[in-house]
Structure 1
Amino acid sequence: MAHPPSYQDATRRQDWLELVAPYIPISEYWDLCQVSKRFHAEFAPRLWNDPVVAGSLLNRDNDLEWFYGFLAAMRGVRKTTRALVHSVDLRACAAGTLEFSVYATNSCRSLRELPFTFPELRCLLLDGHSNIDIGALAGTTAREPPLLLSIAQCQLQLPTQFFASPLLRNLVYLDVSDMPGSLKGPLVQKALSRANLPALRILKAQGREMDDSTASLLLATFKEQLWSLDLSRNKVTDKLFGDLHNYAFPAGSLRGGHAEVEGELQYIEGQETSSLGQFCFVRESEWSKTFSHPARFFVDSPEYTRSAAQDTLNNSTRLDGRAKARRDSADATKLTFAGGAGNLPPSLEHIQDSDIRQPHQGITHLHLNDNRISSTALVNLIMRSPGQLQQLECDTTLLDIRESARPGWLRSSLFASATVSGILGAAHIFRPVFSSNLQTLRIHHSLVTQVVTLDLPDVSKMACQWVAETFLLPRAEMAYPQVFVPDMNPRLQSLTLTHIPRWSTGKVIDKLVTFLKLAAEQEKEIQKSKRSMRRGDTATVRGLRHVRLEFDPDPQEDEEVENGEHGSDLDPEELIRLAAEEFSFFGGSWSSSSSSSAPPPSVQTVTDAVRGVEARHSAVEAVEVSEPRHGEQQQESVRFSAAQSSSLSSYHKHYRAWNGSEFTVPVFGGSTTGSQATREYMRLLQKNSDLHEDVRPASPCHVAAGVPEGSYVYEAAWRSMLTKGYGIRWPKREEIRGMKDVLEGIKEFRKGTRGKGLGVHYDGVLEVVRGF
């Protein structure tokens, strides 16, 4: 965040030209420059600031050939004019890239001459130019090296020492996505290092075939220097998260101090695991468990420090809930550094003081899209974090279902690459009690809909979706009744839901519509809070202002949907046999003559779930904890005793050793008289000892499903309720043909609420993206 203006800037009279210039078309700038020196001083910097983009705005067909001619002409222009160029953005020219064999000499010479031709160049964007030899930049120098370099999708491999070039020493933003070659060599040889890139704050490395070891080396190299890191479309797995926490997350915590509004975390001393960190429960207030505190929409009070010189405008403090989300895109960064075509460039002093250049004690913007990450690991990462993440993108996560808990129709012996994707029971980790600074989230739609993505090889997408909604959804609603709603985190400003199916039995449509209605309700409540405030009272948070719905491609365009009843190359009778070999939890296995879907279990409604549930059981007895021994290496071991059952409920004594100290936790083993979820959980534990794993404190979602507050659960067994112990059947052709278009359903809802005064129309930005 920039410092306030100087006294001179704040008190000087503003020229009327400064006021009207932004409203004048860029096509008029050249003529206005000829009027007088005063006009030239105002409009020449706007005209030359970003010349390639300015040319596009003037309807000129710019390509590389045009750019090379432009550079040649600029060599004869006065240095004062060339110094007005602060950005060279060739991204729009990428589609017309010329053959490298013809223009190799031009490209290399032009790149080498760029810093000298434009001595004040701050931003260089060459994305998509596969034939430009970026390595030609390595040997160049400049009086003022650029601050932004984006070379994504450039297909000529960079030399290892490229990152050691003096031209890169001032970089704040670097994008090397989708380029050939590995980053491991530059990291090992310390070319890609803090010493060579001391100002780097934003690094994008999508699609670089990066594995956990290379990503770990990257984190160890830069530690807390970066505040934005994009590792999307790589080979990153859960193994990376320990290093991410150790190297790139700040110490301390931004949580606490808002217990009545948000709840608070109760940490259990001496109880810890390597994956989850220190055990903690969410201690709810009367208001926090229903997300209904009257002050939930008010921003935080200002923080005060004893030292006036201490910078509190960084990531070491909790955001007040009102500030706009900081963007880490190329366009946003370019705007900060150069101003953009038609605008005046900011001063160097302004850039130096800008928030984008400041360290933030670790990662605040993390992009992990399209990697092999489990939902459990993502939940653990956020729970172990100090709450500093402002933007999180992880568009798909795998549900970790043990092989022994997979039914016949989902076993890897039949479907080697079968996956169940989504994120269930995790709504609480996106509340301020865990994610106090979260403003932007991109996540699988199941966070809101509870509908997972089922992917079976050789089975049509439509059939998989039908099974997911007809058979898996009722189980998800039973085990994980709490879904994310806007009032869980009014500080969240933007939510993107990914991998939404294009076709549905109707349940996905209903759940998305319900969410949009709740977003509209939040809008209304925030406006009501504003009207009720007296002058001088605190401001309100922005609330959820942007909802983006990203749809998967339309599976009806695939031929497999039209071929056969279930769109599978497997024998229908074999599928039926596999579906029926597990006994049906709903009262009998399905046969090929079944025509109706499984009756849903008796679970709470969505409204009840999102408003919170009173605990129906008393807390468990006190936990026995041994004091840790000093000087011993960190280690972890586990053992457990036989279940101690009663007619009502059972508890398992689970023993763990951590860092040389053993502690015991009473793990809830289910109940014969409790909710349907706790009864099924008990049955699974009694039938399969392999599920006595992944002990963790009961979350608010577990409590909503019937687990006593303050208890521990075997999450491996709880998660297995989604698929274990019941049969399914595959849809018939008429059932697939009867599925509804989700996109059309959302359109119909919007059309039915707009301008009708029904109070359910969402006035924020609703963006829909169709998959292709």
Structure 2
Amino acid sequence: MESLPSYEQATTAPHWLQLVGPYVLTTDWRRCSRVNKLFYQQFAPRLWLDPLVTARHHGLHPNDDLAWYCRFVYVHLNSVRLMTREFVRSLDFRNFAVVASGLYSTDASERAISNSFKHLPTLFPRLVCLLVDGHPELNPESLAWVDVINTDRKTPNSLQLLDLANCPHHLNANFFRSAYLRDLVYLDISSLPGSISQTVKASLNPDHVPGLRVLKIRQRELDDSSARILLQRFGRQLWSLDLSNNKLTDATIDTLIRMSFSSLTLRSDAHFHIEGKLISPGRLGTIEYGPLEFLMESKESSTFVHPMRYFPDAPPYICGRSHQELQEWQTVRCSGAGPRRCDDIDSVKSHLLADLLGQQPVSTSSLTHDARSGQGGLTHLSISGNQITSAGVRRLLRCTLGRLEHFDCSVQHISSITSNAQSSLRISGLFGTSHLIRPVFSSNLRHLRVHHSLVTNIPTVNSRELSQRAAAVFAETVVREHAQIAYPQVFVPDTNPRLSSLTLTHIPTHSIGPLILALTNFLDLASSQQHAVEKVLASSTQRGSKVVRGLQYIRLELLSDEELPTALFDDDVDFDQLLDPASFTNDNLDETSGDAQAGLLAENAENQIGRETQVIGSPKMSETAGNSQSDIWQHSGDVFIVHRVEAPESWTGNVFTLKVWTGSEVTGMSPAVSKYTANVQDPKLRKNVGPAMPHHVAAGVPYGSYIFYTAWDEMIFPGGNAKPNLQPLLALHKDVAVAIKEYRAQTRGTDRYWKGKLELVRDKR
């Protein structure tokens, strides 16, 4: 329980019918409502709450939907009492009247359904939910011209949930000026034709929808300028925003940080021994990176083994009977053990209708009030399918001060500013980000949907010269070796035990081994986490003690497969721009047989996977780390330069200088240090200054130093002119879905079996 019940809730016992009502079959509601007045009060609202859904549960055939609706609206309702019609709170047209039948024509459907929208306040005076998602015929335009009739001054007679996603009809720019839509809490206008910017300027703004909290605008050709207008208008009013599949870039990330998130942090030093803490020497920062904060580890935070890591936070103490909730300035993160707040259409609809069945007053505050922190601003954000880079995502996670609870960003492009950028090679992934998922940064994060490279260290590669499966092999061998050098750490379940749901996207359908091994290793670690949580529960002396459950849901989204070509690589592939001779340790690689090359690549990749799972934290720096840059762990031969940050680039607008590490003069250092030392000689790569994070330190960077992130990120891009024969790798391909299913079958009944919910889905795009 995140908050204590009120006195009335704690002392009032519910009637037994309220307890058994949810368990009574839908088909029995009609008979139960005829027993007596008490039964009528309990079951009539359930029967009429969502009539289209109830009719389907009673056996209405899809071919008869339109005929039934005509009789229901134009005949049956004429003899129904107003009190009964007031029980109707939801009309869900999803999957209703979409099947062609004898009566189903454009004219008939518009006359029977679309025209009935004009009379909704009269037909159903207490309607709050209207869902027409994807209906091929319904035109919601008439909603803008309905007459609102207040039958009860205490109850707002207007919609609170409106789902118009995927409707084929254009909305007038003044659509949301209607008083019938003024109390909207949830709005989905995804995949509609027409420009969204004019609608935002004319009506979709706080002046006309002041109670809006959840807004979904997927696939609307939204660009940075239109998004800026939208975010400026709403400010911190929204707590959930879906901008997926648009044309947004990193510029929108900056606007989101500036306009849509609370400026009060949820990060705290109180959990230092468990999670580590952030230190900010001089409180400096840059616009490109964000605040320059180092991660200071305790003795156990870097390896995620603290015995208290599975215990939730204590509830906040509120002094004084007059204060029933936290004030705006009292920021407290969620405990981590309670249910996460969902923003999907079914969850919001169920929440609203459950309030109504509980005979509680209908109020937007039931959705907008955040009892855990009491702050405004976004907590749920979806930005998948845009042109946002991995650097932009990292900056967002640094600057949102732990506010995000739900984050969906499945594709992150890694940009290169060297000659590699002019080739056809395009790399997508999320590297060097696992530390940003930790509670010390992402204090409230409960649900994450992200590219699988966060766990596997294997990017997605696209190239005009390579087929989909060939590109997957190239990513799994050559590019992965570069990624492993630069980013030796990956995300593991105990990186953030408060995370309950993880979705990994863009997983190739076939693998030569390392991808499958990385995924199965992750499931093994999830099983270990589950056993650790069960052990904590078993050792708890208090009855009903709560713990942080860890990962409960893992979803693996596989890419749509293409037919395997006869040759893995075409003859005209330009390997000069794709492969780096440094990626292969065999000096006579070109003379090596094809089978030997294939075995070498696969073996090296799998060996790196094995080593990678052991390195899950950074070195312990708690004994010597301080609060100034003078506490750098310097090695012999380290080279530093003085870098000046001008006012336009500064986070605070002040000019300042930093000592930036540019590598080592000593030969024989780690591959990452050697590559970084070479990259930083290029003036174009001396950009994006930031503090060394755990994966940098693990790769050889002195703790407490600043580096050029652009030069470091450039390591992932291979170059050179090697042309190894990768054709034999075709025989090593394994189906990822089959391999995961085999792994689950083999581990079932053993200690390695993870008991959470695992889903394998294939992307049909």
Give the TM-score of the pair, scaled to structure 1: 0.89
* CA separation of 1:300 and 1:664: change in aligned 2, threshold 3 A: same
Q: Verify the 8 A CA contact 1:584 1:726 in the aligned structure 2.
A: no
- 2:85 aligned partner: 82
**Which moved further from structure 2: 67-76 or 496-505?**
67-76
- 1:398 aligned partner: 413
Deviations 1:646-686 (A, max 9, x none): 97332222222232423222324245343221122213334
* CA separation of 1:270 and 1:17: change in aligned 2, threshold 3 A: closer
Deviations 1:393-418 (A, max 9, x none): 001111122233x2xxxx535x2xx4
- 1:696 aligned partner: 690
Q: Verify the 8 A CA contact 2:185 2:214 in the aligned structure 1.
A: yes
Aligned: 1:500 with 2:532:
no
Written as runs of structure 1 = structure 2, the 5 A alignment for 1:618-767 is: 623=629, 648-658=637-647, 659-670=653-664, 672-686=667-681, 688-729=682-723, 732-755=726-749, 758-767=750-759
Q: Verify the 8 A CA contact 1:227 1:364 in the aligned structure 2.
A: yes
For residue 38 of structure 1, give the secondary structure of its aligned residue in structure 2.
helix
The CA deviation at 1:271 is 2.5
Q: Verify the 8 A CA contact 1:242 1:275 in the aligned structure 2.
A: no
For residue 98 of structure 2, give the secondary structure of its aligned residue in structure 1.
helix
* CA separation of 1:7 and 1:479: change in aligned 2, threshold 3 A: closer
The CA deviation at 1:302 is 1.9
- 1:487 aligned partner: 494
Aligned: 1:30 with 2:30:
yes
Q: Verify the 8 A CA contact 2:430 2:453 in the aligned structure 1.
A: yes
Match of 1:302 among 307, 315, 320: 315
Q: Distance in 2 between matches of 1:181 and 1:511?
A: 44
Q: Verify the 8 A CA contact 2:578 2:719 in the aligned structure 1.
A: no
Q: Verify the 8 A CA contact 1:442 1:497 in the aligned structure 2.
A: yes
* CA separation of 1:680 and 1:213: change in aligned 2, threshold 3 A: same
Across the aligned residues of Structure 1 and Structure 2, the Cα RMSD in angstroms comes to 2.8
For residue 138 of structure 1, give the secondary structure of its aligned residue in structure 2.
helix
Count residues in correspondence. Answer: 729
Q: Distance in 1 between matches of 2:82 and 2:121?
A: 12
- 2:574 aligned partner: 575
- 1:228 aligned partner: 240
Match of 2:133 among 104, 127, 130: 127
**Which moved further from structure 2: 66-75 or 257-266?**
66-75
Q: Distance in 2 between matches of 1:4 and 1:296?
A: 24
The CA deviation at 1:576 is 4.3
For residue 707 of structure 1, give the secondary structure of its aligned residue in structure 2.
coil
Q: Distance in 2 between matches of 1:525 and 1:510?
A: 22
* CA separation of 1:646 and 1:198: change in aligned 2, threshold 3 A: closer
The CA deviation at 1:577 is 4.8
Aligned: 1:430 with 2:437:
yes
Q: Verify the 8 A CA contact 2:486 2:716 in the aligned structure 1.
A: yes
Code of the residue aligned with 1:209 in structure 2: it is E
Q: Distance in 1 between matches of 2:382 and 2:530?
A: 28
Q: Distance in 1 between matches of 2:444 and 2:626?
A: 33
The CA deviation at 1:593 is 6.5
Q: Distance in 1 between matches of 2:565 and 2:762?
A: 22
Aligned: 1:311 with 2:303:
no
For residue 491 of structure 2, give the secondary structure of its aligned residue in structure 1.
coil
The CA deviation at 1:484 is 0.3
Deviations 1:224-246 (A, max 9, x none): 11000000111111111111011
Structure 1 residues not aligned, in runs of 5+: 625-644
The CA deviation at 1:215 is 0.8
Q: Verify the 8 A CA contact 2:260 2:378 in the aligned structure 1.
A: yes
Q: Verify the 8 A CA contact 2:170 2:192 in the aligned structure 1.
A: yes
Code of the residue aligned with 1:763 in structure 2: it is K
The CA deviation at 1:28 is 1.6
Q: Distance in 2 between matches of 1:31 and 1:44?
A: 10
Task: Report % sequence identity.
Answer: 35
* CA separation of 1:182 and 1:310: change in aligned 2, threshold 3 A: farther
- 2:122 aligned partner: 116
- 2:153 aligned partner: none
- 1:549 aligned partner: 556
The CA deviation at 1:357 is 5.1
Deviations 1:94-137 (A, max 9, x none): 63274434433333420111121011111110111232221100
Q: Verify the 8 A CA contact 1:684 1:717 in the aligned structure 2.
A: yes
For residue 302 of structure 2, give the secondary structure of its aligned residue in structure 1.
helix
Q: Distance in 1 between matches of 2:244 and 2:359?
A: 34
Code of the residue aligned with 1:674 in structure 2: it is M
Code of the residue aligned with 2:110 in structure 1: it is A
Match of 1:285 among 262, 285, 298: 298
Q: Distance in 1 between matches of 2:73 and 2:644?
A: 71
The CA deviation at 1:346 is 3.2
Aligned: 1:254 with 2:266:
yes
The CA deviation at 1:538 is 6.1
Aligned: 1:202 with 2:214:
yes
**Which moved further from structure 2: 2-11 or 715-724?**
2-11
Q: Distance in 2 between matches of 1:214 and 1:145?
A: 28
* CA separation of 1:309 and 1:335: change in aligned 2, threshold 3 A: same
The CA deviation at 1:14 is 3.9
Q: Verify the 8 A CA contact 1:616 1:706 in the aligned structure 2.
A: no
**Which moved further from structure 2: 602-611 or 465-474?**
602-611
- 1:161 aligned partner: 174
**Which moved further from structure 2: 762-771 or 17-26?**
17-26
Q: Verify the 8 A CA contact 1:52 1:90 in the aligned structure 2.
A: yes
